[in-house]
Amino acid sequence: MRILVTGGCGFIGSDFIHMLLTDMPDVDICNLDSLTYAGNPANLEGVEGRFAGRYTFARADIADLSAVERILAEQRIEAVVNFAAETHVDRSIADAAPFLHTNVLGLHALLTAAQRRGLASFVHVSTDEVYGSLTPEAPAFTEADPLVPNSPYSASKASGDLLCRAWHETYAFPVIVTRCSNNYGPRQFPEKLIPFMYFRACEDQPLPVYGTGKNVRDWIHVRDHCRGIWLALTRGRPGAVYNFGGAAERSNLTVVHRILDFCGKPASLIRFVADRPGHDFRYAMDYSLARRELGFAPSRTFEQGLAETLDWYRGNPAWISNVTSGAYRTFLKTWYGDRL
Ligand code: NAD
Ligand code: DAU
């Protein structure tokens, strides 16, 4: 199978590519990525040499319809998995425009090109954030729940999910949408909670916890998510939506304390700061549909996966220092201001 992976230089897309090239000898990949601040070619270092003939890279914007059409044709693509997105909630609060460009207009161009070419498989990678926020006692989100996005990021992702629905209903295009909870693992850009707090703790810098730190996220290891996406691509029902989760709800404060313990740093580094506007309180996923129809189940406990992940960051200081230079420091100053 020849697969177009978009956003393959990012955190999850690169893990998906590593997994397929290593475990699925019959799969060839073209990675289409525009290399935004989050797109890091080092995430796929050595892949071109090790898997010669099975991997190609195309630098392009998914919103560029003619570029996407050309790549689909030239690469003889049979399936698309769309990871390309603007993904950081805080950045969407500061400026929503890039989120609408990629997550809505970009997805529109990708769907248009894939449908015109008559592709038989298309997986769009979405998020639990489209469902909004849960109270502490509420049952976990199911695929039947309404879309109630609260941030510009989640509104753009919910819009993308609705485009997918429309492409299936209107054109009978066989698109599948997957929605997943918070991922962690190697190669995550250190604006997201886990690598950010690890990186700050290593530098003995204050750790900015929003609000009370009682907000809850469900954590899934990136490889479990990638296995779920592969199952959706190969076994999923066209038009279906599948939830994935890690069965690991933890408060932010719990996660931050575990990182401090791993680093051997004191809790006095924690600084409670003004909350994120529109901050969702809790996410939790009911993934029984994916379990039933795809055979999906997460394989790692959070504690096991977190220790492996922090070991990876500890063992890759060059990766961290490459991604935490210039523009990244400017983002921290602009976003956190005097909260840090
Ligand atoms: P990321 O920010 O690490 O990477 C995004 C990638 O997309 C980068 O390589 C970037 O260069 C590329 N990209 C951005 N705009 C593009 C464009 N217009 N054209 C081509 N490439 C473009 O993201 P991630 O955390 O790996 O997330 C991947 C997908 O999974 C996203 O769709 C996200 O919404 C979804 N998701 C993420 C999580 C999570 O916890 N990180 C959870 C659930 C769902
Ligand atoms: O749930 C899936 C989503 O998870 C994905 O769709 C998003 O792309 C991904 O960014 C992530 O969104 P979150 O907003 O949950 O992730 P983030 O790492 O930004 O924050 C996790 C929690 O930690 C959240 O409750 C906010 C809190 N937080 C985060 C940062 C960066 C802090 O308290 N302080 C911080 O400095």
Q: What is the mean pLDDT of residues 310-333?
A: 94
Average pLDDT, whole number, for the chain? 98
**Residue 245 burial (CB count, 10 A):** 27
pLDDT tier, 160 (very low <50, low <70, confident <90, very high otherwise): very high
pLDDT in tens, 88-124: 999 999 999 999 999 999 999 999 999 999 999 999 9
Distance of alpha carbon 294 from alpha carbon 289, whole angstroms: 8
Q: Largest Cα–Cα distance in the chain?
A: 57
pLDDT tier, 338 (very low <50, low <70, confident <90, very high otherwise): confident
**Residue with CA at minimum distance from ligand 2 atom 30:** 193
**Ligand 1 site, residue 215, Cβ cutoff 6 A:** no
- Per the CB < 8 A criterion, the answer to whether 275 and 211 are in contact is yes
Model pLDDT, residue 259:
98
pLDDT in tens, 217-275: 999 999 999 999 999 999 999 999 999 999 999 999 999 999 999 999 999 999 999 99
Distance of CA 64 to the CA centre of its chain: 22
Is pLDDT above 90 for 132?
Answer: yes
**Ligand 2 site, residue 156, Cβ cutoff 6 A:** no
**DSSP helix, strand, coil percent of the chain (3-state; round to 5):** 50, 20, 35
Query: What are the backbone angles phi and psi of residue 64, rounded to the nearest 5°?
Result: -90, 95
**Ligand 1 site, residue 89, Cβ cutoff 6 A:** no
60: left (phi over 0), alpha (psi -120 to 50) or beta: beta
Ligand positioned closest to the Cα atom of 64: 1
Q: Determine the distance separating the centroid of ligand 1 and the alpha carbon of 242, expressed in angstroms.
A: 18
Element (H, E) at 106: none
For the chain, the structural domain boundaries read 2-187+220-248+281-300
pLDDT tier, 167 (very low <50, low <70, confident <90, very high otherwise): very high
Is pLDDT above 90 for 290?
Answer: yes
Distance of alpha carbon 256 from alpha carbon 197, whole angstroms: 7
**Percent of the chain with pLDDT strictly greater than 70:** 100
Model pLDDT, residue 178:
99
**Residue 176, strand partner residues:** 123
**Residue 58, strand partner residues:** 32
Q: What is the mean pLDDT of residues 315-335?
A: 93
Model pLDDT, residue 340:
83
User: Measuring CA to CA, which residue among 263, 270, 266 is closest to residue 340?
Assistant: 270
Per the residue annotation, which of 131, 153, 184, 283 is the catalytic one? 153
Model pLDDT, residue 237:
98
Per the residue annotation, which of 128, 224, 249, 280 is the catalytic one? 128
Is pLDDT above 90 for 325?
Answer: no
Q: Hey, which of 198, 217, 271, 272 would you mutate to test ligand 2's pocket, going by the most ligand atoms within 8 Å of its Cβ?
A: 217
Q: What is the mean pLDDT of residues 325-340?
A: 92
Kind of pairing, strands 79-82 and 55-59? unpaired
Model pLDDT, residue 339:
87
Distance of alpha carbon 69 from alpha carbon 82, whole angstroms: 15
Q: What is the mean pLDDT of residues 115-136?
A: 98
**Residue with CA at minimum distance from ligand 2 atom 4:** 182
pTM to 2 decimal places: 0.99
Active site residue 153: yes
Active site residue 129: yes
**Ligand 2 site, residue 123, Cβ cutoff 6 A:** no
- Per the CB < 8 A criterion, the answer to whether 107 and 124 are in contact is yes
Ligand positioned closest to the Cα atom of 189: 1
> What CATH number belongs to 2-187+220-248+281-300?
3.40.50.720
- Scan for tokens 């890091």, then name that residue: 40
**Ligand 2 site, residue 89, Cβ cutoff 6 A:** yes
pLDDT in tens, 45-96: 999 999 999 999 999 999 999 999 999 999 999 999 999 999 999 999 999 9
Tokens of 167: 């492409």
pLDDT in tens, 170-203: 999 999 999 999 999 999 999 999 999 999 999 9
**Ligand 1 site, residue 6, Cβ cutoff 6 A:** yes
